[in-house]
Amino acid sequence: MPKLRKKTQEKRIKPELGGGFRDYGSGDAILRQRLLEKIHKTFEDFGFDPMETPAVERTEVLLGGEKESGKIIFNVRGSKEKKSDLSLRFDLTVPLARFLAVNPEIPKPFKRYQIGNVWRGESPQAGRYREFLQADLDIAGASSTDADAEIIAVIWKTFKNLGLSKFIIKINNRKVLNGLPQYAGFPEKKLPELLRLVDKKEKIGEEALKKELKKVFKEKVAAKIWEIIAISGDTKTRLIKARETLRGNAAAEEGINELIEIARNLNTAGVLPENWEIDYSVARGLGYYTGSVFETYLTDAKEFGSVASGGRYDFLTVPFTGQKLPTVGGSIGVDRLYAVFEKLNLLKKKQTSVKVLILNLLPELKKEYLELAQVMRAANINTSFYLGDDRAFQAQLAYAVKKEIPYVVILGENESKRSTVTVKNLVTREQKEIPKEKIVEYFKR
Amino acid sequence: MPKLRKKTQEKRIKPELGGGFRDYGSGDAILRQRLLEKIHKTFEDFGFDPMETPAVERTEVLLGGEKESGKIIFNVRGSKEKKSDLSLRFDLTVPLARFLAVNPEIPKPFKRYQIGNVWRGESPQAGRYREFLQADLDIAGASSTDADAEIIAVIWKTFKNLGLSKFIIKINNRKVLNGLPQYAGFPEKKLPELLRLVDKKEKIGEEALKKELKKVFKEKVAAKIWEIIAISGDTKTRLIKARETLRGNAAAEEGINELIEIARNLNTAGVLPENWEIDYSVARGLGYYTGSVFETYLTDAKEFGSVASGGRYDFLTVPFTGQKLPTVGGSIGVDRLYAVFEKLNLLKKKQTSVKVLILNLLPELKKEYLELAQVMRAANINTSFYLGDDRAFQAQLAYAVKKEIPYVVILGENESKRSTVTVKNLVTREQKEIPKEKIVEYFKR
């Protein structure tokens, strides 16, 4: 187009990404796809069905769940519009609550999963991203702790299916923390601040948290808080200790009883004890959790923070319907998990899924090349036909090597006369001439 | 949380979607997922690898491809930012051009596909959506028409793999249209207007287009334009007629020769002649196409417009690098295609992928239920364990029926004693008591 050609003289546009955004080239995308397949396969084994909501929602709806999130939201505005009431979703939970409010007829329990991006409109900073891929699963309309335990069991099974073994799911119940004002003797209104503080424990460490608690609370109060959130030992010990210490504290007792039921279910469902523990310091920052809460850390890569988290949020539909709907869910941070796989070298990255490159050597043999490609593709062998401008044999071979395609198929004059093809393995450098009609068989061995 | 509980008294938030956005509940999402699996599988058979770019790009980059698009763009702004240089992508092609400009070292030809949403910031109108799912595939660094033909062949094979047979891919070459000013005798600068007009042919029909041409061009000019764009007959006739009529018109001749090569490749690659044709009226609205262009219509559902389109755009990297990069690509409008499948009833929608619901009848048998679920899931049978609050047998059965789950597994006191389970088929209403250890075998028949 003449219009575009003229641009050579025009000012160049920097081919840059916006701050906090990134590309995933083929090597990364292939691996991420493999992770996602395992994740959604596991979710479906457990009876969760997919669901999709749009990336853009009414801002009012997004803030309905939790006002604090407004600070980190991305507003979206059509270029002809003066003002905007739309924003990009910052999680997949508030959109689910909106969906449930609008579709009250859906049979409950409703078990759904959604895999999609979420966006955070924070200022870009080195190493902090503003677009994340999350895999969420939720059970709406189930108040039994069987549902809480199932969410945790699915997360566990997903991690196992991803080949991970060194991880720990730390489980708590908000009700235990809700019992702390009464137990430790501080005003109810200071609870949110306490939740924010203990939420930082994995990041800043026990000693730093201890200090921070002492800054905010009186020494005696801080000590009583510490007494609970630092309870250690095996699962049984942790449950018994907390129950004894908090006896008579209604909220906390309810929370501990729920933890006992969840622990029992996890054992029955075969969730390995080495992969989960009760931790009374787990709080989850978000305001909407009402019961169980959990975070998941990779023991070899704690610096990545929690890679899967969730909990029970029975009141999230209240702003929309005025009625509570008992719901529990979990969310896997796929991008974060992917970063862990990369850092720990847990999966071998490959640049391409192409198995075979058919070289494009002689124009008069193009018909044979295309027919060959057709046969291979019909047999589900990922096959590329060389389409580059450099038609020299060496150039095409070099291309296959650079792309890390494992095999090339050579069909020249001699092969054509003999109705054969030469298959060259670019890893072992071996090559072999085989009858043309045996080609699928050769690759299907 | 007390904060949320208070909201019952507060003003309610309407659980509404933004105009032009929509949800896909499980029934839709399951089907869409099946479409997507077939699409990406076919792309991979042909040697295309996945790639991902972010939803948000710098506005300047997005407009680099084509200024007109600015009118329909969605701006994105972090809530603390005064102004914004970011927008949501309106297609997947401009981001690819940006990616290629930034990563010049990538081995060429680079064959990639990307499946993702794009957004259009137009004013919401009934039936017009502002978020679309697209599946794009492109070959960068290949100037041969073999690449153009391959893109069309992949689109064809994808549609065939989706079970479609009644569709037609209409193929043209921009160079033929670029030859029209000289042939029909009108100034070069009127060409963009002509492209916009002929682009409307499928929508408004031949007669209306004829009239519109006469409004814009002198009668003699309009007649000569019509003579070319209305060429009919079989493929051979269309090619010969155009070649004869436009002989000596350098641009047009080059275009026709390219069409001849593409036609030859399509035949060799086994693309059925009933599914494609040369149509000199195909223009594609976008400014960036430089060679072949194509549109795909479903013969039973023309009202949906083109469901897959594309072409060659050799200059799209020029605004970024100052250098052309021969590239050809195609794009399937997944949402539009899905709407067609729905309208023509081509796929049976199912509400759930769950095959079996294990009823949750007796608390003391929970261990058995959970163990059973574990065994089934390990055998890849999508299994749900009833988690609802209503524990009555009839309520649980009714839930399975409403959810259209085909089987329930009943394990009561008697079954437990006998180490059996009763499997009830909710479609045929048959039920059968089988030994517990035979359950996987039963469902794997």
HEC per residue, chain A: CHHHHHHHCCCCCCCCCCCCCCCECHHHHHHHHHHHHHHHHHHHHCCCEECECCCEEEHHHHHHHCHHHHHHCEEEEECCCCCCCEEECCCCHHHHHHHHHHCCCCCCCEEEEEEEEEECCCCCECCECCEEEEEEEEEECCCCHHHHHHHHHHHHHHHHHCCCCCEEEEEEEHHHHHCHHHHHHCCHHHHHHHHHHHCCHHHHCHHHHHHHHHHHCCHHHHHHHHHHHCCCCCHHHHHHHHHHHCCCCHHHHHHHHHHHHHHHHHHHCCCCHHHEEECCCCCCCCCCCCCEEEEEEECCCHHHCCCEEEEECCCCCHHHHCCCCCEEEEEEEHHHHHHHHHHCCCCCCCCCCCCEEECCCCHHHHHHHHHHHHHHHHCCCCEEECCCCCCCHHHHHHHHHHHCCCEEEECCHHHHHHCEEEEEECCCCCEEEEEHHHHHHHHHC
Q: What angle do CA B423, B426, B428 make, to 5 degrees?
A: 100
What is the per-residue pLDDT for B124?
75
B389 in the same domain as B240: no
Chain B interface, best mutation among A3, A7, A26, A426, by max B CB count within 10 A:
A26
Tell me which residues of chain B, numbers 362 to 401, contact chain A at a CB-CB cutoff of 8 Å.
366-367, 370-371, 373-374, 377, 380-389, 399
Averaged pLDDT for residues B17-29 = 95
Q: Closest by alpha carbon to B314, among B175, B166, B128?
A: B175
Per-residue pLDDT at B7 exceeds 50: no
> Cβ–Cβ of B61/A16 closer than 8 Å?
yes
- CATH number of the domain bearing residue B424: 3.40.50.800
Average pLDDT for chain B: 93
Per-residue pLDDT at B331 exceeds 80: yes
- Between CA A292 and CA B364 the distance in angstroms is 23
Answer whether residue B349 is part of any domain.
Answer: no
Answer whether residue A301 is part of any domain.
Answer: yes
Kindly indicate the confidence band of residue B70, based on its pLDDT and cuts at 50, 70 and 90.
low
At B208, phi and psi to the nearest 5?
Answer: -65, -40
Beta bridge partners of A117: A133
Contacts of A288 in chain B (CB under 8 A): 1, 4
What is the per-residue pLDDT for A69?
63
B369 in the same domain as B437: yes
- Between CA A386 and CA A400 the distance in angstroms is 9
Kindly indicate the confidence band of residue B319, based on its pLDDT and cuts at 50, 70 and 90.
very high
- Between CA A134 and CA A79 the distance in angstroms is 29
Q: What is the DSSP letter of B363?
A: G
Per-residue pLDDT at B1 exceeds 50: no
Rounded to a whole number of angstroms, the distance between the first and last alpha carbons of chain B is 49
Distances (CA, A) of A325 to A16, A144, A149: 45, 12, 18
Contacts of residue B169, defined as CB under 8 A and 6 or more positions apart, other chains included, come to: B152, B155, B156, B275, B276, B277, B294, B295, B296, B308
- Between CA B392 and CA A210 the distance in angstroms is 49
Beta bridge partners of A138: A112, A329
Kindly indicate the confidence band of residue B329, based on its pLDDT and cuts at 50, 70 and 90.
very high
Instruction: Provide the residue-wise pLDDT of chain A in tens; the chain has 445 residues.
Output: 444 555 445 679 999 999 999 999 999 999 999 999 999 999 999 999 999 999 999 999 998 756 666 668 999 999 888 888 999 999 999 999 999 999 999 999 999 999 999 999 887 777 789 999 999 999 999 999 999 999 999 999 999 999 999 999 999 999 999 999 999 999 999 999 999 999 888 889 999 999 999 999 999 999 999 999 999 999 999 999 999 999 999 999 999 999 999 999 999 999 999 999 999 999 987 678 999 999 999 998 888 899 999 999 999 999 999 999 999 999 999 999 999 998 888 888 899 999 999 999 999 999 999 999 999 999 999 999 999 999 999 999 999 999 999 999 999 999 999 999 999 999 999 999 999 999 999 998 7
Q: Is B167 within 8 Å of B298 (Cβ atoms)?
A: yes
A368 in the same domain as A297: no
A173 in the same domain as A56: yes
Whether residue B182 lies within 8 A of chain A, CB to CB, comes out as no
A151 in the same domain as A93: yes
Q: Is B405 within 8 Å of B343 (Cβ atoms)?
A: no
Q: What is the dihedral of CA B82, B84, B88, B90, to 10 degrees?
A: 140
A292 in the same domain as A168: yes
A118 in the same domain as A73: yes
Answer whether residue A412 is part of any domain.
Answer: yes
Radius of gyration of chain A from Cα atoms? 28
Q: Looking at A261-270, B61-70, B411-420, which range is the least confident one?
A: B61-70
The residue that leads in pLDDT, B26 or A123, is B26
What is the per-residue pLDDT for B91?
94
Q: Closest by alpha carbon to A410, among A424, A400, A430?
A: A424
* Burial class for A9, CB neighbours closer than 10 Å (0-12, 13-18, 19+): exposed
- Residue finishing a domain among B310, B343, B376: B343
- What is the percentage of chain B residues whose pLDDT exceeds 90? 85
Contacts of B104 in chain A (CB under 8 A): none
- Which residue of B4, B73, B119 is in closest CB contact with A315? B4
Tell me which residues of chain A, numbers 19 to 38, contact chain B at a CB-CB cutoff of 8 Å.
21-26, 28-30, 32-33
Distances (CA, A) of B358 to B370, B417, B420: 9, 18, 13
- CA of A326 vs chain B CAs: smallest distance (Å): 10
What the block records as the tokens of B412 is 């009561």
* Burial class for A305, CB neighbours closer than 10 Å (0-12, 13-18, 19+): middle
- Residue finishing a domain among B308, B343, B378: B343
Whether residue B105 lies within 8 A of chain A, CB to CB, comes out as no
Q: What region, left, alpha or beta, does residue B93 occupy, with left being phi > 0 and alpha being psi -120 to 50 degrees?
A: alpha
Q: Closest by alpha carbon to A49, among A88, A94, A96?
A: A96
Answer whether residue A102 is part of any domain.
Answer: yes
Kindly indicate the confidence band of residue B265, based on its pLDDT and cuts at 50, 70 and 90.
very high
Q: Looking at A14-18, A261-265, B7-11, B380-384, which range is the least confident one?
A: B7-11
Spatial strand order of the sheet with A49-50 comes to A49-50, A110-119, A131-140, A327-333, A308-312, A292-298, A167-173, A276-278
Q: Is B50 within 8 Å of B40 (Cβ atoms)?
A: yes
> Cβ–Cβ of A385/B47 closer than 8 Å?
yes
What is the per-residue pLDDT for B302?
86
A377 in the same domain as A297: no
- Between CA A136 and CA A94 the distance in angstroms is 12
Complex confidence, ipTM: 0.93
Averaged pLDDT for residues B315-326 = 94
B428 in the same domain as B293: no
A305 in the same domain as A266: yes
Answer whether residue B305 is part of any domain.
Answer: yes
Answer whether residue B5 is part of any domain.
Answer: no
- CATH number of the domain bearing residue A219: 3.30.930.10
Relative to beta strand A49-50, strand A110-119 is parallel
Per-residue pLDDT at B65 exceeds 70: no
Tell me which residues of chain A, numbers 329 to 358, contact chain B at a CB-CB cutoff of 8 Å.
351-354, 357
pLDDT in tens, B195-240: 999 988 888 999 999 999 999 999 999 999 999 999 999 999 999 9
Beta bridge partners of A75: A87, B77
For residues B94-117, one letter each, b for 16 or more C-beta atoms within 10 angstroms of the residue's C-beta and e for the rest, the string is: bbbbbbbbeeeebbbbbbbbbbbb
Residue B420: domain span? 356-444
- Between CA A89 and CA A105 the distance in angstroms is 24
Answer whether residue B2 is part of any domain.
Answer: no
What is the per-residue pLDDT for A66?
61
Answer whether residue B145 is part of any domain.
Answer: yes
DSSP string, B214-281: HHHS-HHHHHHHHHHHT--SSHHHHHHHHHHHTTT-HHHHHHHHHHHHHHHHHHHTT--GGGEEE-TT
> Cβ–Cβ of B387/A147 closer than 8 Å?
yes
Kindly indicate the confidence band of residue B64, based on its pLDDT and cuts at 50, 70 and 90.
confident
- Residue finishing a domain among A284, A315, A343: A343
B316 in the same domain as B191: yes
Per-residue pLDDT at B438 exceeds 90: yes
A248 in the same domain as A213: yes
Kindly indicate the confidence band of residue B315, based on its pLDDT and cuts at 50, 70 and 90.
very high
State how many domains chain B has.
2
- Between CA B434 and CA B411 the distance in angstroms is 11
- Between CA A90 and CA A117 the distance in angstroms is 9
